[in-house]
Amino acid sequence: MRRILLLQLCLTPWVAPLPGATLERLTLDDVIQKSTEIVRARVVGSSANFRGSVIYTHWKVEVLERWKGVDQATLEVRIPGGVANGFRQDVPGAPALVQGREYLLFLWTAKTGATYLTGLSQGLFELSKDAADQLLASRAAISETMLDRKTWQPVKDEGVQMRYCEMTAHVTATVAGKANK
């Protein structure tokens, strides 16, 4: 019993929640332009493991539609935080996905080949239907500290909600506009 208590005391600082995150507030156009891939996808599985002292959850998604990026049927998206080897780690600003749900994902791929959400929660839009059976894309307001990129002053996030057809038209126009510049 003493060994278990001593082990828990030693591991507590290592697995304690990370300090609060500070995010750069990105506009929807920023998220679109910074993303290397933009897809509508369904979560089909997940696993988590440690990378150094940080747990990453690897979400396997099935691509249903694509507006930007390399044509692939599935992707693996890494999001910091999760449960691995009996340890739980929550990362401020990092969302958790739900298996079986569909999302609009704005992603970027690192030089290592790993794919992440652009701006953490800013790159994840949940898909749902309204009372008129119209598909909506929405992102709740993010409560983590966000800074304005011009003034570096804290700003409050307001979230985003729009009809899916309007979102896809905006994404398509922004991607095409960037390609023509």
Instruction: Give 150-173 pLDDT, tens digit per residue.
Output: 898 999 999 999 999 999 999 999
3 occurs within a structural domain: no
CATH at residue 74 = 2.40.50
- The answer, yes or no, to whether residue 14 has pLDDT greater than 60, is no
Neighbours of 161 (CB within 10 A): 15
52 occurs within a structural domain: yes
Q: Which domain holds residue 145?
A: 22-179
Beta bridge partners of 104: 40, 125
Q: How many domains does the chain have?
A: 1
Mean pLDDT of 30-39: 97
- The answer, yes or no, to whether residue 34 has pLDDT greater than 80, is yes
The pLDDT-based confidence of 149 (bands split at 50, 70, 90) is: confident
Mean pLDDT of 58-80: 97
pLDDT above 90 coverage of the chain, percent: 76
Instruction: Give 41-56 pLDDT, tens digit per residue.
Output: 999 999 999 999 999 9
4 occurs within a structural domain: no
Q: What does the H/E/C string look like for the chain?
A: CHHHHHHHHHHHHHHCCCCCCEEECCCHHHHHHHCCEEEEEEEEEEEEEEECCEEEEEEEEEEEEEEECCCCCEEEEEEECEEECCEEECCCCCCCCCCCCEEEEEEEECCCCCEEECCHHHHEEEEEECCCCCEEEEECCCCCEEECCCCCCEECCCCEEEEHHHHHHHHHHHHHHHHCC
Look over the chain and give the mean of its residue pLDDT values, rounded to a whole number: 88
pLDDT computed for residue 39 by the predictor: 98
Mean pLDDT of 71-85: 96
69 occurs within a structural domain: yes
State the Cα–Cα distance between residues 26 and 10, nearest whole angstrom.
Answer: 39
**Contact present, 28 and 160 (Cβ < 8 Å):** yes
Instruction: Give 109-132 pLDDT, tens digit per residue.
Output: 999 999 999 999 999 999 999 999
